[in-house]
Amino acid sequence: MDYFQFYNISESFLLDEKVLKNTYYKLSREYHPDFHANEPEEKQQEILQLSTQNTNAYRTLSDADLRMQYILKQHGLLEEGGKNELPGDFLMEMMEINEELMELEFDFDADKFHEISEKTIGLTAQLDNDILPVLQRYPELHGITKEEALAEVKTYYLKKKYLLRIQETLSKFATRS
């Protein structure tokens, strides 16, 4: 059973955190192994599995990035070694940033570092801003299909992962600036 079904909530990229947490605590009490210690071994194993599923579901659904990754995987859009292509213009822009980062590696320049940092922050903010309407309306979409929305979210997710790797590289330079 998928995590959304397990929690009896609709699949969504944006969840009500309070509802999610309350459901987690309710199921934690219901499936706590100590409350089923006198049950037959088979029932105890079932409760243990449900308790584990509750913990895994909460960990995944309470983290926006993990939730997005989970939804995309549930729809078969993020397979390991699968088609995770990014638009060419985005890749060209990232290649330019990576080249600038390599230059910083050999010849650090604090002003250039700050310029790249600001550019990366701006790109991330624009990316978040552009996808927000799709995330807010999902799965009740108007004007685009669920598949088109999921494709947009997948592209967003992959771009964001790429930008996070650049930000990690930038953080290594932070001590120099």
Angle at 141 between CA 123 and CA 79, to 5 degrees: 60
* Domain parsing of the chain, residue ranges: 3-62, 88-173
Ramachandran assignment for 143, one of left (phi > 0), alpha (psi -120 to 50 degrees), beta (any other): left
Asked whether the predicted pLDDT for residue 177 surpasses 70, the reply is: no
**Mean pLDDT along residues 12-31:** 95
Summarised one tens digit per residue, pLDDT across range 131-175 is: 999 999 998 878 889 999 999 999 999 999 999 999 999 998 777
| CB contact set of 161 (below 8 Å; sequence gap of 6+) | none
Ramachandran assignment for 114, one of left (phi > 0), alpha (psi -120 to 50 degrees), beta (any other): alpha
Q: What is the pLDDT of residue 9?
A: 94
Fold of 3-62: Helix Hairpins (1.10.287)
Summarised one tens digit per residue, pLDDT across range 84-122 is: 788 999 999 999 999 999 999 889 888 999 999 999 999
